[in-house]
Amino acid sequence: MVASTCIIAGGIRSETKTVTVNDVGEIMIDINNFSSHSIENFDINLLQKEVDGGVITIGQIDEIEKYPEAKSIIISGLKQDTFEYFVSKYGNQFEAISFWKNKSVEDLSCLGSLKNIRYIHYFYNQRATDLWDMSGNEKLIGLAIYDFSKLHNIDKIKTSANLINFQLGDAVIPGMVVQSLSPILDTKITHFEWWGKTVEDKDFSCLAKSSIEELDINPTQFTVEELADLLAQFPPSLKGSITRPYTKAGVQDKSGYHEYYHLCKRKRMCEKGKDDERFQKYLDEFCSLLDVKRRR
């Protein structure tokens, strides 16, 4: 077993064009309703069968009227007009909404009218260039924005009143670029995840001045020195993937299952069970470096 002397943790189906309803009232509105797009997490499933998200009709959206007790929904195929229709007519019924492959929506501003929304998950959009004024979303505590190819400015996240969990980046298509993460400093966000391609100002250290307590960012994009410099600016109580100088991956082949540790930039990958001694040395050296930087 590989151990370390410092604290390094842890060592859709879319077959139908008509509404699918789970047992309304039995599904808890929790973090899974925005961090996952699994249809089992939602009272109503309005996913279209097409791989690209399809196109949903007003008639299909109006099926929602039959289920006034539903509090969560996953929906695809909205264009700008049907997006605004859904939000204005039914949006305030829901506490959790997953917008799945509504790629043609350009203006998200109507989302600001949602008074009861707690979680929003939006995956895949090719037109929106901005977020929306969230000052009216007083109950919004979780937001996930993935694969937005034209969204580069996140300034409007500063308008969120009570947002504490924010996920941003690439889920499938690599390439999301944002100008800066500094708008997060003016929020109450305590858990932030960044899985995009590029932060243009390259300033991750600004997040140390925020309210973040848990930070999930791929640590292997940094050198050992850069990662230690970054972590030294946060309190030792910080949680999340950024606190480990590696990521893990597994491969199944004819010879069996192999688990690998991907290390910081310019460091050679280690295989579990084969390179344990080298991996332990790497962890010890990282911990020592981080301790030195924190004492400065």
- The two three-digit tokens of residue 136, written as one number: 């009216």
Strand order in the sheet with 246-253: 246-253, 256-263, 270-271
Q: Tell me: the pLDDT tens digits for 93-108? A: 999 999 999 999 999 9
Q: What pLDDT, on a 0 to 100 scale, did the predictor assign at position 51?
A: 87
Domain range list for the chain: 20-218, 219-296
Mean pLDDT of the 183-194 span: 98
Please spell the DSSP secondary structure of 252-290, one letter per residue: EETTEEEEEEEESTT---EETTTSHHHHHHHHHHHHHHH
Per DSSP, 226 falls in state: H
- The two three-digit tokens of residue 194, written as one number: 């960044």
Mean pLDDT of the 225-239 span: 98
Q: What pLDDT, on a 0 to 100 scale, did the predictor assign at position 164?
A: 96
b/e map of 177-193 (b: 16 or more CB within 10 Å)? ebebbbbbbebebbbbb
pTM for the complete prediction? 0.89
Q: What pLDDT, on a 0 to 100 scale, did the predictor assign at position 6?
A: 40
Q: What pLDDT, on a 0 to 100 scale, did the predictor assign at position 121?
A: 94
Q: What pLDDT, on a 0 to 100 scale, did the predictor assign at position 31?
A: 55
- What gap in Å lies between CA 111 and CA 128, rounded to an integer? 13
Q: Tell me: the pLDDT tens digits for 3-38? A: 332 434 333 233 334 455 555 444 445 556 566 667
Element (H, E) at 227: helix 224-231
Q: What pLDDT, on a 0 to 100 scale, did the predictor assign at position 20?
A: 57
Q: Tell me: the pLDDT tens digits for 245-266? A: 999 999 999 989 999 999 999 9
Under 8 Å between Cβ of 11 and 101: no
* Secondary-structure class of domain 20-218 per CATH: alpha beta
Other beta carbons within 10 angstroms of residue 258's beta carbon come to 14
Q: Tell me: the pLDDT tens digits for 44-61? A: 999 999 988 999 999 999
Helices 276-295 and 224-231: crossing angle in degrees, nearest 10, is: 40
